C-alpha cells in the first residue's frame, strides 16, 4: 500500500539509528514471491516475516496498516503508532523503560471486513505468483 511504501525510508533510518538497541521486524500477509520482488524495489532494513495465516494481524487487530508496535525489554506491548508518529524520542523512551507519550494508531473500524480484504488480496497475489 502507498502508506506502507512511504514509511520504508523512515523505518530504515530508524533501524540504522537503533540497530544496537532495538529489533525491527516487518510483517506482511503477502506471499513469498511477491515479497521478494517487492524487496528488490523497496529494500527494508531489518527482518521481514510472512504471516500466511494472518495470526499477527488478528492477534493485534492490526488491520489499519501501516502500524508500528513497540515492546519493552520484557516483551510487553507499550505502544501502537502510525509510522508518521514514530520518532527517535519515542523509541528512546521505550528503550528507557517508559511508555511513550505519542498518539496511538487508529484501528480499522471493521476488523471482519479488513480480514476479508486482506484474504482477497492475499489470494489474488498467490494466483499471480504461481
Collect contacts of 79-85 with beta carbons under 8 A, ≥24 apart.
79/104, 80/104, 80/105, 81/105, 82/106, 83/3, 83/7, 83/10, 83/11, 84/7
71-119 confidence digits (pLDDT tens): 999 999 999 999 999 999 999 999 999 999 999 998 788 888 999 999 9
Q: Considering the entire predicted model, what is its pTM?
A: 0.88
Q: CA 128 to CA 14: how far, in whole Å?
A: 33
Percentage of the chain beyond pLDDT 90 is 78
| Residue 15 φ then ψ, to 5° | -60, -45
78: helix, strand or coil: strand
Task: Give per-residue pLDDT as tens, 31-77.
Answer: 999 999 999 999 999 999 999 999 999 988 888 789 999 999 999 99
Amino acid at each position: 500500500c502507498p502508506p506502507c511504501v512511504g514509511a520504508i525510508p523512515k523505518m530504515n533510518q530508524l533501524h540504522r539509528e537503533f540497530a544496537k538497541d532495538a529489533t525491527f521486524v516487518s510483517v506482511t500477509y503477502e506471499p513469498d514471491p511477491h515479497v521478494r520482488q517487492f524487496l528488490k524495489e523497496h529494500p527494508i532494513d531489518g527482518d521481514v516475516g510472512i504471516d500466511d495465516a494472518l495470526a499477527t494481524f488478528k492477534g493485534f487487530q492490526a488491520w489499519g496498516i501501516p502500524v508500528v508496535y513497540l515492546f519493552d525489554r520484557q516483551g510487553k506491548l507499550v505502544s501502537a503508532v502510525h509510522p508518521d508518529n514514530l520518532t527517535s524520542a519515542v523509541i528512546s523512551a521505550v528503550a528507557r523503560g517508559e511508555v511513550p507519550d505519542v498518539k496511538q494508531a487508529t484501528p480499522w473500524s471493521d476488523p471482519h471486513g479488513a480480514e476479508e480484504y486482506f484474504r482477497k488480496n492475499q489470494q489474488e497475489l498467490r494466483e499471480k505468483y504461481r
